[in-house]
Amino acid sequence: MTPGRPAHVRTSSEVPDDEQLVEELRSLLAEEDGVGELAARMALLADERRLRILFCLHAHPLIRSSDLARAIGAHESTTSHALALLREAGWVHAVRTGRVVRYELASGFAHDLLHELGSGHLDDVDHPHHHAHDGHHAHDGPSADEGSGRRPDA
């Protein structure tokens, strides 16, 4: 973000006094559902390994967990665990084709956020439909590797 003009400005020329402002903010926060859930979801991004995984999935979707592990220089089991956490929180989902499981970002929100964080795409990757993502794909839902104890790319 660039310093300067704030992203949001009051539409009213009347500036509330401090007490009124505090009450308005308390009221607004009372109406918000899922702030704790969102905080937990966002906390997953504070881990460098998980963030590297998301950057890789953003740069090139539909990659196997073993290839992700090699790309980020981590053990396959550590990468699989990180992917499970990210999948559980709704950041990624698994796409099974036969015995092969590949991973991609779960939503346009994740894609857009990664762009804001500075993540790019590989030269031959295009995402013309990423704004249409809403996290509900035909292949969403539990993949066959969940809960089986098998490695996703086994």
Q: What is the chain's pLDDT, residue by residue, as a tens digit (154 residues)?
A: 445 556 666 677 788 889 998 998 899 888 888 888 888 888 988 999 999 999 999 988 999 999 999 999 999 999 999 999 999 999 999 999 999 999 999 988 888 888 888 787 777 666 654 443 444 333 333 333 333 333 333 3
Number of domains making up the chain: 1
Taking the whole predicted model, whether its pTM rises above 0.85 is answered as no
β-pairing, 63-64 vs 100-105, is: antiparallel
Which tokens sit at 129? 């439909």
CATH for 124: 1.10.10.10
Residue 38 inside a domain? The answer is: no
Residue 149 inside a domain? The answer is: no
Helix (H) or strand (E) holding 95: strand 92-97
Residue 105 inside a domain? The answer is: yes
